[in-house]
A and B are shown apart, each in its own frame.
Chain A
């Protein structure tokens, strides 16, 4: 089902949490909401699920204006940040809940419950109460409880937080397969970038109650709409300067083609930089001293302190035969591919 969120405004008392938030999601698409804590991700999901009524704007699901429709008539499944299982019902009756509310016939109910429990591999635990389950198991009950209803829209609020890395990865893959097979339009909130990049068709980056950019996972990485997005997705050197005649000089002798005139900021990814040791610093090149080294095995991260400018982050691939640069070593920094550096208008501050 196509989901359209149209310039939503939502305030809690004096604090305006959503500020004209707009987002369109195609049928069967998986979209991740990324953003710092408190930027309004949960609030947006709750507006779509119907727990909050926005002061302004509309929520349209499958062509119907749902802004004022109560949550129980929306056919939008939600998986809560805290799971919110029914503590007084065992796993089977938790999963059965929505079917029993809809007065589905006994035989069909049993069949669908059994199938949903099997999909999330909770077969042996159907008679347990939520308090007898681990965090990961509870989370799978929450997923089964919603999937058994075959909703057209699925909302997940940081569902994998309680899982260890391995189970987390397995669940991500499983979930993506599941919603893709069933063609469920999915909105997924996460703090974890790699989760966002692996799981979704498109990534929406939120900032202070607005959607800053929506694009394919590599799109937000390669062509961020702002230095905020660039900094939020992956790591980036945001180098500010004055662009003149289609060129932005980010260091002595290093220029980038720019469509922006005047105040501009270049986004230079650390892996797009290279460092070579040199004898001494010169004024007419991009030079500095290694201020910080983080050797991670396959890669090494350097922070190069450049006199009179911001320090730059450099990411180098490393083989066992390579030497890791020493702290304080004088280096020359150079760009691998000048065309891979987006130049954006300087943010109005």
Chain B
């Protein structure tokens, strides 16, 4: 092959790769083509591991080895028939739901305040909201231990100094410390979607309400709040999913004995090495979480039916 032929051949070889159907599909702007890399990532790192996890819940695993032909539903049956399991599941749920609700109550005023500020103050507030996300959640959990913990912890020192309590109070290793930690750590995930929806709102619509005789409070509940439901749904779904499935916070702030479903999964898989029981609880945790998120989204859809209405 002479030099000219080689030069001619090289680009055509390159074009050959560029014209591979997979590459063309990825570059086309229609269909699932452009999503192929992301889909591949999800299949390898999510679908396959989840399927494995799910299948472990039906098999007996003995010292890290799957016992062949051991398929059975009894692992699920024994978990669902266990009173203790339901008590723990209920605790997971109400801790997650309550901290989500408190997050919503705390986040809404912050997000609303954001929309009333000038551009410099907005940037500062945004930094303040996002900054905690730059440190590890673990570090923040330890910080809460220092603040809440012990007779000489920051919290008790302040309360005693101010004379608000007579004896040191116990907050660490109770429901309270878990709720406080979860709320603080997940608050940004509630604030950000709310800011997004509130910033984009049309203030003239609120002016119309004022003009029609509604005061500021009434205008908020009749106009601003209903129109921000999409942000509430996004934040609520996000924070609930995070809180419901978190295991670090209950474990560290609840003391060693504070068990939620997520903590149990961790203990079965990492400490006790009973993968089957761990997989059963993980499957139930993820499945129920999915159902709850769907319920939140569905409730949001019902509350925002008007967004579906289009010129017909």
Cross-interface CB contact of B205 among A51, A72, A86, A131, cutoff 8 Å? A86
Given contacts A98-B212, A101-B212, A101-B214, contact A129 B309 (CB under 8 A): yes
Main secondary structure of the interface of B (DSSP, over half): helix
Instruction: Assess whether A145 is interfacial by the CB under 8 Å rule.
Output: yes
List A contacts of B213 (CB < 8 A).
72, 98, 101-102, 149
CB contact under 8 A between A97 and B204, given known A88-B306, A128-B309, A131-B306:
no
Asked if B202 CB lies within 8 Å of chain A CBs, one says yes
Q: Do residues B205 and A87 form an inter-chain contact, with CB atoms below 8 A?
A: yes
* Number of interchain pairs (Cβ within 8 Å): 79
Minimum CB–CB distance from A112 to chain B (whole Å) comes to 13
| Contact yes or no, A76 B226, CB < 8 A | no
The range of chain A's interface size is 20 to 34
B208 within 8 A of A: yes
Residues of A within 8 Å of B223, CB to CB, are 86, 88
* Closest residue of A by beta carbon distance from B215: A72
Cβ of A303 to closest chain B Cβ, rounded Å: 43
Q: Which of A53-61, A77-85, A285-293, A294-302 contacts B (4 or more CB under 8 A)?
A: A77-85
Greatest chain A CB density within 10 A among B215, B227, B306 is at B306
Interface size of B by CB at 8 A reads: 24
Complex CA distance for A84 and B304, rounded to whole angstroms: 18
For residue B209, CB closer than 8 A to chain A, the reply is yes
Residues of A within 8 Å of B205, CB to CB, are 84-87
- Return B218 CB to nearest CB of chain A, in Å: 6
B312 in the interface, Cβ–Cβ < 8 Å?
yes
Contact B204 A87 (CB under 8 A): no
- Determine the distance from Cα of A102 to Cα of B312 in the docked complex, in whole angstroms: 33
Q: Which 8 A-B pairs have the closest CB atoms?
A: A98-B212, A129-B309, A84-B208, A84-B204, A71-B210, A101-B214, A88-B306, A101-B213
Query: Can you report 25 residue pairs joining A to B where beta carbons are below 8 Å apart?
Result: A49-B211, A51-B210, A70-B215, A72-B211, A72-B214, A76-B211, A78-B207, A82-B202, A84-B204, A84-B208, A86-B209, A86-B223, A87-B205, A88-B226, A88-B227, A88-B306, A97-B214, A101-B212, A101-B222, A131-B310, A132-B309, A132-B311, A132-B312, A133-B311, A145-B212
List 6 additional A-B contacts (Cβ < 8 Å) besides A85-B205, A98-B213. A50-B210, A71-B211, A72-B215, A90-B306, A132-B312, A134-B311
Residues of A within 8 A of B (CB): 49-51, 70-72, 76-78, 80, 82, 84-90, 97-98, 101-102, 128-129, 131-134, 145-146, 149
